[in-house]
Amino acid sequence: MTVERGILLVVGLLVLVTVLLAVWHSPNWLWITGLLGLHLVQASFTGLCPVVMMLKRLGLPTRAGFGHA
């Protein structure tokens, strides 16, 4: 697993969990889903992402793009 794929995994799981919590518990969980989306937009402009820093500290390698196996 690479950092790039790790980001997709972490954010994807968080979105799924918060949507399920919104359905089963309270619609207020959708605020977190919205914040995740906002963070993705912010990270696309600034390049700053705490998940990337965490995954790099865990030793995951980076790769230039998603098209590689």
Phi, psi of 63 (to 5 degrees): -140, 150
5-64: pLDDT as tens digits? 898 899 999 999 999 999 999 999 999 999 999 999 999 899 888 888 899 999 999 887
Which residues neighbour 47 within 8 Å (Cβ) at sequence distance 6 or greater?
Answer: none
Which residues neighbour 7 within 8 Å (Cβ) at sequence distance 6 or greater?
Answer: 49, 51, 52, 55
At residue 26, the pLDDT reads: 95
3-class DSSP assignment, residue 27: helix
Give the type of residue at 50.
P
For the chain, the structural domain boundaries read 3-57
Give the type of residue at 12.
G
Task: State the pTM of this model.
Answer: 0.79
Largest Cα–Cα separation, the chain: 40
pLDDT band at 67 (very low <50, low <70, confident <90, very high): low
